[in-house]
Every structure is written in structure tokens, then in C-alpha cells.
Structure 1
Amino acid sequence: MGKPDADGPGLPDLPPEWGRVVVPDDASALAAEAERLRRELRGAPHRTAPRPPARSPLALPGLVLLVAVLTTLAGLAAVTWPRSGRSTPAPSPSAAPPPAATGRPLPALDLVDAGQSPVPLRGLVPAMIVLVDGCACPDEVAAAAALAPSGVTVVTVAGTAPVAPGAAGAGVRSLADPAGGLRAFLHLPARPGAATALLVDRAGVLVKVVPEIRSAEDYRADLARLAG
């Protein structure tokens, strides 16, 4: 049997609200009570609601900054990403002659004939000079020769070598400009399939440039005035 703690010598004073405490002689008498306490202790965490993790005060500003950076990168990628199937066509060279070319005297150039002998360009005026370095264009040359008035020379100027005799037509002077001096003077590149015409008066002044001869009407009136 247990006995009250108040009767036992040497026990400390206990709070009066605990009431009467009995200490058993056999510790096994407390086994059931101990097991009940252990069950309560094991179940205590499950009855306690977990506290939500504290949210950092920098979380929301950081998220906003991340979204802004991703949006900026997406915009840059859309602008700089190469688009397949779309290409900018290369601009074709202008067929219009530089305005400064007309009204200027021909340069003091020497062309060459079939024997590679020099021929002064200014010694051929008045003349219609047809540049055939982009196209032999025999029909256009023949039409010019037929329309040229008396005293006006029709000259074909090829690139490296004069047009073969007879190919340019009767009464046409065939020369070459290996150095490309006339094209450099005009700042007008040769175009494949097209011939360029220069009409020069008796004073050696360039009165008209036809970048691409399409018909005799491009130069007919000016050619007739060269004989005056």
C-alpha cells in the first residue's frame, strides 16, 4: 500500500492544490498511468496545427522583377530573331544618269580600234556613242545607224575588244574602252541585255544620255539635232 507523502519523512512540501499525493510501494502500480501519459505525448504533435511558413517581405518585389526581365528578353528576341522566308531584295541600280553628266564636255579619252591603235574620243564628234559592253544589241545599233543624219558618226564602244567588223552594221565605227573610262565618267554601270547611248554635239558636249535603249524614240529627235 502506498502512503501519503505527508507522513513520509524527508519529502518536500508540495503545493496544496495538488491535493493528497499517495506514493505506492510497488512501482508497477503506476504502469497504466505511465502508458496513458506516453500515448498522450505521442499524439500531442498531431493535435497541434502546423504554423504556415513565414513569407519573405522580398518575395513579391523579386517576382515582379523576374517577370519584367523575362518580358524584356522576349521582346528583344522577337525583334532580333531572323525571319525565314522574308528577305529584303537588293535595290536595282538606277537607270537614270547623274544630272551632272548632261551638259558636260566629253573627257579626253583614247579608245582603241581592232588593231589596238588609240582613237581620241573627242575626234569623233558629233556622234551617237552606243556602249555595248552589256549587250551587243545589233538591232538597236542598226536602227541608230539608219537614223543618223549626214555628218553624225555612230560609234559602238565595247568593253575589252571592239565588236567584230560587219557585226555593228555599215557606217558604224567599232571601238573599245578597256579602261572603262566612259562608264566611270557617267557613273552608270553596264546592265546585262541593255545598251546605253550618248549623244554628243559638235562642241563635244554631252547633250543626252539614254541609260537603256528601248526604242528609237528614246533618241530620235536629239539625234536629228546633232547635225545642226
Structure 2
Amino acid sequence: MGKPDADDPGLPDLPPEWGRVVVPDDASALAGEAARIRRELRGSAHDATPRAVPPLAMPLLVLLVAVVTAVTGLVAVTWSRSSRPTPQSTPAPYAPPPGLTGRPVPALDLVDDGQPVPLRGLVPAVIVLVDGCACAQEMAGTAAVAPPGVTVITIDADPAVHVPPPPAGTTVRALADPADALRTFLRLPARAGIATALLVDASGTLVKVVPEVRSTDDYQPELARLAG
């Protein structure tokens, strides 16, 4: 059995607040106490160690911030562009090539409901090329002032455009030019909403080109002489 250390004259004095200390004869008797102290020390060391950060956490966080920033910028740019009004394009002015008038028109076939119609079999004629415009007023005016014997031809007219019946002796034909042969002859680009008129006499000669029809006054004098 152990005995109080106070009975052993070889030990130094211990603090009185420790109370009575007994040293066992067998050191194995202290094994339980030592194990308890080691557990307490391990617990203290675990609490004092800062929690480890997973090695991929920081790169993933940086990547997430970059993605959010990029998406936010893209949405802002897209919203800004979509909110801008779309500018309206203005058709480029057309000037007939020099020396075009006075030449014969091509010996081409226009199309009427799938059937070929020789252009030179319709002269004298005023030909109105329509680019997707509702030009009923212009075509009606042309038909009204065309003299007897002059054919009024509309090329690719909008089906929704209604042309009133022409005066007696005047023929109005709505035809198509699938090969764009007349445009090639005129070097005329497509211009949305604009009508261009060609005046062709009885010999098939191009008398006048009206790049943009605004009024029959632009070509009425030449139109009156076509049948002569």
C-alpha cells in the first residue's frame, strides 16, 4: 500500500491546497488516472486546432464568383442592346445606267399564272416594278391616265393591292418576272416599298425610267405619246 508523502523525509513539501497525496507502491495503479488525463489532453488539443478548409473550397469559390460576374455582365449587355430602337433602313437611291433609254427591252417572257407571256407582245406598255409596297394609288393613277392601246403591267404586285378597273381600251396585267430579267437589264436593286416605272413604245424601245413613282406627273407626257 502507498503511504502519505509526508512520512517520506526525501520528498519536498507540497502545496497545502493539494491535500493529502498518497503514492502507491505499484505504478500500474495509476494507469486509469493516466488514461483519463491523456483523454483530456487530446480533447483540449482538438478544440484548440482550427478547423481545416477543404483544399478545393477556395478555387471553387473563386470560380463561382467569376461565373456570376460574367453572367451578370452578359445579361446587362443583352438587355441594353434589346432596349435600343432598331434603326429603319432607307433604300439607296437608284440612278438608271447611262445610255439605258433608247435601247430595246430584252426579248423575255413574263409569267401569268404559270404561263409565259412575251413582253414584246404587250408593247406599248408602262411597266411598274413593285417591291412589296401597297401601291394601289400609284397603279390606279397609271391605269387612269394610260391612253387606249397602252398596256399597264405590274411586276410582282402585292396580291392584296386592288387596282380599280382601267378606262375602256386600257389593259392591266399583273405578271411575274421569276428570273429578275428586267431588274438585271436595269441594274435595279430591290428596294422595299418603292415602285419603279418603265415606259416602252410600240417598237419595244425603252423611252423613260422613273426610279421612284410618286405621281403620274413624273411620266404622263411620255405616257401620252406611247400609243402615237
Q: TM-score range by the shorter chain?
A: 0.5 to 0.7
Map 1:33-182; keep pairs closer than 5 Å. 93-113=92-112, 115-158=113-156, 163-164=158-159, 167-171=162-166, 172-182=172-182
After TM superposition, give the deviation of residue 135 of structure 1 in Å.
2.1
Structure 2: how far apart are the matches of 1:98 and 1:135?
A: 24
CA offsets per residue over residues 47-79 of structure 1, 9 Å max, x none? xxxxxxxxxxxxxxxxxxxxxxxxxxxxxxxxx
Give the Cα separation in 1 of the matches to 2:189 and 2:90: 14
Contact 1:129–1:198 (CA under 8 A) maintained in structure 2: yes
On the 8 A contact 1:198/1:206 being kept in 2, the answer is yes
Amino acid at match of 2:153: V
Question: Is the alpha carbon distance of 1:132 and 1:166 closer, same or farther for their aligned partners in structure 2, counting shifts above 3 Å?
Answer: closer
Q: Report SS of the residue matched to 1:141.
A: helix
- Tell me, yes or no, if the aligned pair for 1:105 and 1:205 is still in contact at 8 Å: yes
Distance 1:136 1:187 in 2: 23
Counterpart secondary structure, 1:169:
coil
* Contact 1:128–1:153 (Cα < 8 Å) also in 2: yes
Amino acid at match of 1:168: V
Aligned 8 A contact 2:134 2:160 in 1: no
Which is greater in Rg?
Answer: 1
Structure 1 length normalisation: TM-score? 0.55
- Structure 1 runs of 4+ aligned residues shifted over 4 Å read none
Distance (Å, rounded) in 2 between the aligned partners of 1:96 and 1:197: 13
Instruction: Provide structure 1 residue ranges, at least 5 long, that are not aligned to the other structure.
Output: 1-89
Question: Unaligned stretches of 5+ in structure 2?
Answer: 1-88, 167-171
Q: How many residues align?
A: 135
Report the Cα distance in structure 1 between the residues aligned to 2:202 and 2:177, rounded to whole angstroms.
21
The 3-state SS of whatever aligns with 2:182 is: helix
Contact 2:197–2:213 (CA<8 Å) still a contact in 1? yes
Distance 1:147 1:91, change over 3 A: closer
Q: CA RMSD in A?
A: 2.1
Q: 1:94 to 1:166 in 2, by over 3 A?
A: closer
Instruction: Report the residue type matching 1:100 in the other structure.
Output: G
* Identity, % of aligned positions: 64
1:184 aligns with 2:179: no
Change (3 A) 1:107 1:137: same
Q: Distance in 1 between matches of 2:178 and 2:102?
A: 25
